[in-house]
Amino acid sequence: MFSRTLRPLRAANALRTATPTYRMSPVALRTLTTEAASASASEPSTAQQTPSAIPQTPEAPARSPSQLPYFVGRNRLNNFGIYEKRLRGGTMKKTLLKKGEGNLQALRHDVAEALSLPAKEVRVNNVTGHIEIKGHRRDGIAMFLKNMGF
C-alpha cells in the first residue's frame, strides 16, 4: 500500500463533487374535465371562430379502398409515409408520399385533384415508386388519405 504522502487525500470526495447530481422532478398530471362550465357555454369562444391552419380537402368519392386501382400502405407505427423535404438550401420544398402500390398515375391524379394543384406540380418517381408533390403539404395529403379510407 502507498504511504500517506503518495495517497490522494480526497479521491473519494473529489469524485462526488466533480459529477453533478441530477434529480428528477415529479411530472405534473393534466386532468380533463368533461363538464362544460355554465358561463363558458353561453358565450362563444373566439378560438372557435378563427379558421383552422389545416387545409380542408373535398370529400372523397364513394369508392371503397378495395375498388381503387392503387393502395397506400402505412409504416410499422401505423402512420402514412408522408415526408417533407427541403432542398437547395431550403428554397425548394417537396413532399414525398411513400408506400404507394398499384396504379401510381391514378394516385397522382387523385392527389392533385384533392389538393387543387396543377398536374405538373405532382409527379411520380417510377424508380422509387414515390409521389413527389411541390411544397409542404403533409396535412392535406394525410387528410385526403384518411378520407379515402386508407
The 8-class DSSP code of residue 109 comes to H
When the pLDDT of each residue in the chain is averaged and rounded to a whole number, the result is 79
Q: What distance lies between CA 64 and its chain's CA centroid?
A: 25
3-state SS, residue 137: coil
What pLDDT, in 10s, does the model give residues 26-84?
A: 555 555 566 655 555 555 555 555 555 555 655 545 567 778 999 999 999 999 999 99
Q: Is residue 135 part of a domain?
A: yes
Q: Is residue 36 part of a domain?
A: no
Residue 96 and residue 93: Cα distance in Å, rounded? 10
CATH number at residue 108: 3.30.780.10
**Domain of residue 85, residue span:** 66-148
Residue 144 and residue 129: Cα distance in Å, rounded? 19
Q: Is residue 122 part of a domain?
A: yes
Confidence category of residue 9, pLDDT binned at 50, 70, 90: low
Q: Is residue 38 part of a domain?
A: no
The 8-class DSSP code of residue 150 comes to -
> Which region among 29-38, 69-78, 106-115, 125-134 has the lowest average model confidence (pLDDT)?
29-38
Q: Is residue 72 part of a domain?
A: yes
| The dihedral sign for the CA sequence 133, 141, 118, 123 | positive
Residue 149 and residue 77: Cα distance in Å, rounded? 17
The total domain count for the chain is 1
> Which residues are paired to 134 by β-bridges?
94
